[in-house]
Amino acid sequence: MIEQLSKDYDSPVITFWIGRRPTIWINDAWAADEILVKRSNVYNSRPAMLLFGELMNGQENLIHKYTYTNEQRERFRNLRKITHHGVGIQKVLSYQNFQDNENKVVVYDLLSTPDQFVAHFERYAASVVSIVGFARRISDSQDPLITEVIAHMQTAAHYAVVAKDFPRILETFPWLARLPRWMSPWMKNFKSPHKTKYSRDNFFYALAEEAQQSPEENYAKFIFREAPQYHLTDGEISSLASNLFGAGADTSSSTLITAVMAMRAFPETLQPAWDELDRVVGHTRSPALEDELPYVRAFVKEVFRWRSVAIVGGKPHAPIQDDYWNGYYIPKGTWIQGNVWAIHHNEREFPDPDRFNPRRFLDTEDRRPFPGEKGYMTFGWGRRSCAGQALAEQGTHLSVARLLWAYRVQPAIDQKTGKEMPVDIFSYTNGSNWRPKPFKVRFIPRSEEIKQTIIREGEEALRDLAKYERPAQYKLGPPKK
């Protein structure tokens, strides 16, 4: 609806009102770049958010942190600095070895249980983040950490959609949050004034605390070492640890599911990838990050563009002062939301936007001008862009390149009719972070030689990853009776 209003009024921005609170939606790439990137020193705060800013993690979470005062800005910089130590560009380069090994295991697992590709992607994404954060590998897709973390991330994304659910109305009518608990059943999922032993905050704090015992270096160890210098609270430690999963687990697995859907729905895009991979890589090893694979890189960029996981660009921005842009008056604290879906489906930049076309990112007639170097805005803007972008991009490139190299993704066959089962490229879940609804495909190794390489590399990867194997001592939720 907001995208259509922007077209109807021929305006890059639209103001949408919920009660007395306006939200400015940016539906144009160039406007988003001018406002949220080039003026990021102004638009780097969050608006006053009852739901995320106070009721959930509050101001102990970097993602929700306000930056209106010098003290708030200093705290934001310090927490961001700590986060960059875990997932900054230079640090991510040191993760290539185990990220590559975990990815080889995914391709290996697909040989035996291809119908469980979603679970394999979820395990892979969560395991990489868990090794980064806690030096603990997740070897089983049924590990409770996966289900708990993904459930939490999807719930948070569910509530982030403007006006979608009753809890969002709390932003317009905050007095509803002050009613007694027995009168407000809608508050059951939000922070209680009395934290329980099994609360989410305690869960991630305990994981981080437990990781200090690991012989391997990890992000949690660094957080605890820095805690005295930065006077970190327990809540900040918990949020710094949990944000890793938000930066890499649910979003990365959802991106890979979308990549498989694109391979199935647009088979005409695959032959150029196979030709490039056969020429550069061959069949006796799988792709590596250092391989020059321009078409495959374009394929990955088109995955990010075609169906970005964060369709509304994450949490809203807000200006720290009154501002004017192109004649528009934007008061301090106004909700500013980047509409990634509208930006990535603007026919001016991306003709026939629902068609998956990697050539948009090559020097061809399909390429159009777009602000910035990346050619997409999947990870947000300015100082509020996703801190885990480098980790996600590195992992997605490895994963998609290896999937393209290893398998032909072919239609599943209906056992009753014997006919090919279709996929619906518009069948996605609801929420500000979305993923394809369940669909079926077949993964067929492209050659016997490739199959043997998958087995050899998968078994070697499992041996290399063994040093990260250890059981978790802490569980989210009370013990079963």
Residues 161, 172 contacting (CB under 8 angstroms) = no
Ramachandran class of 81: left when φ > 0, alpha when ψ lies in -120 to 50, beta otherwise = alpha
Alpha carbon 257 to chain centroid, angstroms: 12
- Work out the number of other CB atoms within 10 angstroms of the CB of residue 460: 13
Task: Give the H/E segment covering residue 329.
Answer: strand 328-330
Please choose, from the candidates 417, 437, 419, 418, the residue with its C-alpha nearest in 3D space to the C-alpha of residue 427: 437
CA-to-CA separations, 83 to 240, 247, 262, in angstroms, rounded: 7, 11, 32
Query: CA torsion angle for 265, 266, 267, 272 (degrees, to 10)?
Result: -150
Rg of the chain on CA atoms, in Å: 23
Determine whether 133 is exposed, middle or buried from the number of CB atoms within 10 Å of its CB (0-12, 13-18, 19+).
buried
Phi, psi for 162 (deg, rounded to 5)? -60, 125
- State whether residue 407 is helix, strand or coil: strand
- State whether residue 182 is helix, strand or coil: helix
End-to-end CA distance of the chain: 49
In angstroms, the CA 132 to CA 154 distance is 21
Asked if residue 386 belongs to a known ligand binding site, the reply is yes
- Could you tell me the two tokens for 49? 């958010």
Phi, psi for 45 (deg, rounded to 5)? -100, 180
Phi, psi for 22 (deg, rounded to 5)? -85, 145
Residues 478, 445 contacting (CB under 8 angstroms) = no
Residues 468, 436 contacting (CB under 8 angstroms) = no
User: What are the residues whose beta carbons fall under 8 Å from the beta carbon of 220, sequence distance 6 or more?
Assistant: 133, 134, 135, 207, 208, 209, 211, 212, 241
Type of residue numbered 46: R
In angstroms, the CA 329 to CA 327 distance is 7
180: DSSP letter: -
Question: Residues at the annotated binding site?
Answer: 386
User: Which residues contribute to the annotated binding site for heme?
Assistant: 386
